[in-house]
Amino acid sequence: MANNGAVRLDLDGKPIKPLTICMIGAGGFIGSHLCEKLLNETPHKVLALDVYNDKIKHLLEPDTSEWAERIQFHRINIKHDSRLEGLVKMADLTINLAAICTPADYNTRPLDTIYSNFIDALPVVKYCSENNKRLIHFSTCEVYGKTIGSFLPKDHPLRQDPDFYVLKEDTSPCIFGSIEKQRWSYACAKQLIERLVYAEGAENGLEFTIVRPFNWIGPRMDFIPGIDGPSEGVPRVLACFSNNLLRREPLKLVDGGESQRTFIYIKDAIEAVLLMIENPERANGHIFNVGNPNNEVTVRQLAEMMTKVYSKVSGETAIESPTIDVSSKEFYGEGYDDSDKRIPDMTIINRQLGWNPKTSLWDLLESTLTYQHRTYAEAVKKATSKPVAS
């Protein structure tokens, strides 16, 4: 367990002082895994802020006495809660995970998307800066937008040149679509809050680290529509495909599933975050890509792989036509646009924190789909066998 008497050392061999961490969005997918890691492996305390706590309920039970002193849940919506500044002041470090980060919402709820990701994050940055508190701000790989290579002709040889598609924190431009493509409302809001955090560092000395996640995958990710989330919602690609597999429906490939993505296992990614938390001298002032460039696939290849993995973990044979093509307009509505490739450069995080991801795509899919099957298969069967009222 965490407090076994051994002194924890940072990457430079210095003892790590126990911290109090104010975690905004602690009840979400990433927050729940980060809370688990902090409580299991470190002596740090967590002030867990969120509107919901379903994903961290197991950490808040009174009988988990070894943790009871080290985690406090505060039911807070950061939009309008006067307690927020007090909690930031109580902590040594604030981690802001709160966001609307579901592509289906960028088109249909662009105002909520912009307010949630920019306006609602402003007070957090302000309180950290005014009270000299360190901030780890979670951004997104979407801030890169489209690659330079995507503007070249389809058969142009430079499209295969890493200089034209690998995304680097310190040199890659942020290229978005036109204003009427509202899909970029999220990326634009996220880029602007990054610029604000960076400016607070430059002008007012804010100690900050910015994290750009590249498709973090694992148990408790997103929701399964109609089971533990809204029945009309469209979660991100992995949960979308999981939902189709659980219901024995074809996996929908938007615009042929040609977009390329990289996927990283949540437990690998959380290792990187813990290194940032415990090595401020190496992490402050930096923006870090956190992804796994070795796990690169097209969305079509992902669908094929998930179909195979799910057959293995569930013992069910795949349906006859496992995938179906749909247009982005049909799936997401008017105004959708996409980035072609998202491949992170890992030079900076490797140099500063010595971190590299470990888990292969097959293994992370097996772990995630085993969890999805165990958690949801029975509930989905019940939901789909209910007679529909006429």
- % of the chain residues with pLDDT over 90: 55
Q: For position 330, what pLDDT does the model report?
A: 55
Q: Is the dihedral of CA 215, 219, 222, 226 positive or negative?
A: positive
Burial class (CB in 10 A: 0-12, 13-18, 19+), 115: middle
Q: For position 5, what pLDDT does the model report?
A: 58
Q: For position 387, what pLDDT does the model report?
A: 55
- Tell me the mean pLDDT in the region 260-276: 95
- % of the chain residues with pLDDT over 70: 86
Q: Where are the beta strands (DSSP E) in the chain?
A: 20-24, 45-50, 71-75, 93-96, 134-138, 166-167, 208-213, 216-217, 251-254, 260-262, 264-265, 286-290, 296-298, 323-326, 343-344
DSSP-assigned letter for residue 144: G
d(CA 386, CA 227): 13
Burial 358-380 (b: 16+ CB within 10 A, else e): ebebeebbbbbbbbbbebbeeeb
**Do the beta carbons of residue 376 and residue 310 sit within 8 Å?**
no
CA distances from 251 to 106, 183, 245, 256, 324 (A): 22, 22, 7, 11, 6
pLDDT over 80 (residue 36): yes
Confidence of residue 62 (pLDDT cuts 50, 70, 90): confident
As beta bridge partners, residue 216 has: 264
Taking only Cα atoms into account, the Rg of the chain, rounded to an integer number of angstroms, comes to 21
Residues recognised as catalytic:
186
Confidence of residue 331 (pLDDT cuts 50, 70, 90): low
pTM, full prediction = 0.90
Confidence of residue 150 (pLDDT cuts 50, 70, 90): confident
Q: For position 390, what pLDDT does the model report?
A: 44
- Tell me the mean pLDDT in the region 303-307: 91
Give the pLDDT confidence of 67-111 residue by residue, as tens digits. 778 999 999 988 878 899 999 999 999 999 988 766 667 777 889
Q: Show the domains of the chain with their CATH numbers.
A: 98-376 (3.40.50.720)
Q: For position 164, what pLDDT does the model report?
A: 84
Residue tagged 């040199």 (tokens): 171
d(CA 376, CA 384): 12
pLDDT over 50 (residue 55): yes
pLDDT over 70 (residue 329): no
Q: For position 318, what pLDDT does the model report?
A: 80
pLDDT over 60 (residue 130): yes
Helix axes 361-385, 299-314, angle to 10 degrees: 70
Give the pLDDT confidence of 199-228 residue by residue, as tens digits. 999 999 999 999 999 999 998 886 554 445
Averaged confidence pLDDT in the chain:
86
For residue 282, give the H/E element and its range: helix 280-283
* Least confident segment among 13-27, 292-306, 323-337: 323-337
pLDDT over 60 (residue 333): no
d(CA 289, CA 75): 30
d(CA 114, CA 347): 31
**Do the beta carbons of residue 203 and residue 187 sit within 8 Å?**
no
Q: Where are the beta strands (DSSP E) in 295-379?
A: 296-298, 323-326, 343-344
Give the pLDDT confidence of 223-235 residue by residue, as tens digits. 554 445 544 444 5
- Tell me the mean pLDDT in the region 240-255: 84
For residue 267, give the H/E element and its range: helix 266-278
Winning range, highest mean pLDDT, from 91-105, 182-196, 368-382? 182-196
* Least confident segment among 55-69, 133-147, 276-290: 55-69
Q: Is the dihedral of CA 118, 121, 126, 128 positive or negative?
A: negative
